[in-house]
Amino acid sequence: MASMTKEHEAEQQERIRTTPAQAIPGRAGVARAHANVALVKYWGKRDERLRIPWASSISMTLDGYWTTTRFTALADPSCRTFLLDGAPAPKAAAGRAAHAINILRERYGLPTDGENSGYFLESWNHVPVSSGFASSASGFAALAGAFADASGLKDIGHRELSRLARLGSGSASRSIDGGFVEWHAGTDDASSYAEPLDEHPGVDLRMMSVMISDAQKEIASTEGMRRSARSPYFSVWVGQCEDACRRMREAVAENDIEAIGSIAEGNARQMHAMTLCAGFTYFTPGTLAVTRLVEQLRADGLECFWTCDAGANPKILVPASNENQVAAAIAERFPQARCESSGFGPGIAIGHHQNREERKEDDA
Ligand code: PMV
């Protein structure tokens, strides 16, 4: 206990150093959450405002990529600042964060305008845009954690945190926990949350992103989901996801890499086939070339599987023992592509649980 108190003191010192003058006493919080990649995708919102999905999804939390966020409540309502990596956040990101903060405050009866409705938000992203991994999941999960810490929600559990993170970005609901995580679709705010499927997986898997393109995706995920709902295959997709989750749970319980990879690849295929039928695709010729290579490597006896989110850059799920060979094959065939990879990561760390080294690094 003594060392926890010391840690807590250090945390307080740091807050005093970096907190703006009009901060409401005691109203500052910090959290760190890791990125995740879905193996069974979330693609389709039953309720856009509350971000309730049509189907459940399953992801892998990543060790190598995370966001640290500090939230400070301010008395001055005109100060709503969001610094991302030390610089003012782009307008779209600031707007999304402001919206999420309003929803969180409304939920707990905290002021959304007038006195005490300002804030100072700082985020440090250890998910470089160039990595091919999305930072919205870790970003909104860390924001939910920092907000809970700042608002004195001491007894908040991971289930509620996951629901809070979900309000900022659907996939963020899965970044509260580590390892394999399942987001239960549910039907309303209370029943739609993620929880660990296996926090300490018995399989040594790596997720590799293959950056073949730096281009921004043309269709943001919310719009892509809207359009997909008009696909004649949408209802088939929703049913397939529930089935894939059921099979994935079994595969995870059995540490069956072949099954985990096949289910993930099949689910990604179905998602992207459905978007094609809705009249658009995230795939480029490069995406297809990489997925084809993965299939070829597998046919040649090297176990690896592909998945792909709402963008052109595929990801490869590979047993750690095969990673170097797969990376070498990618480098040979696509010399311009950048590869990044990560194993399983932990769940969220809130407030004084974050260690000092991490905070120093974040402040650098
Ligand atoms: O949470 P959003 O709105 O960024 O949507 C994520 C959608 C996918 O990444 C394609 C799939 C998923 O489950 O993460």
Complete DSSP assignment for 198-257: ESS-SS-EEEEEEE---PPPSS-HHHHHHHHTTSTTHHHHHHHHHHHHHHHHHHHHTT-H
Q: How remote is the CA of residue 172 from the centroid of ligand 1, in Å?
A: 9
pLDDT along the chain (364 residues), means of 10: 42 49 81 98 96 98 97 94 94 94 94 94 89 90 97 92 97 98 98 98 97 87 96 96 98 98 98 96 96 98 97 97 98 96 97 52 48
At residue 88, φ and ψ (nearest 5 deg) are -55, 135
pLDDT of the residue at 18: 54
User: Ligand 1: which residues within 6 Å by Cβ?
Assistant: 38, 41-43, 57, 134, 136, 169-171, 221, 309-310
Which CA distances in Å does 37 have to 143, 170, 179?
A: 19, 12, 11
State whether residue 331 is helix, strand or coil: helix
Please tell me the distance from the alpha carbon of residue 135 to that of residue 219, in angstroms, as a whole number.
17
CA of 123 to the centre of ligand 1 (A): 20
Q: What domains lie within the chain, and their CATH numbers?
A: 2-201+345-363 (3.30.230.10), 205-342 (3.30.70.890)
H or E element in which residue 36 lies? strand 23-40
Query: 26 CA distance to ligand 1 centroid (A)?
Result: 34
Report the predicted TM-score, pTM, of the whole model to 2 decimal places: 0.91
171 with 59: CB under 8 angstroms?
A: yes
Quick one: tokens of 192?
A: 């739609």
Residue 297 alpha carbon to ligand 1 centre in Å:
27
Atom of ligand 1 nearest to the CA of 271: 10
Which residue's alpha carbon is at the smallest distance from atom 8 of ligand 1?
A: 309
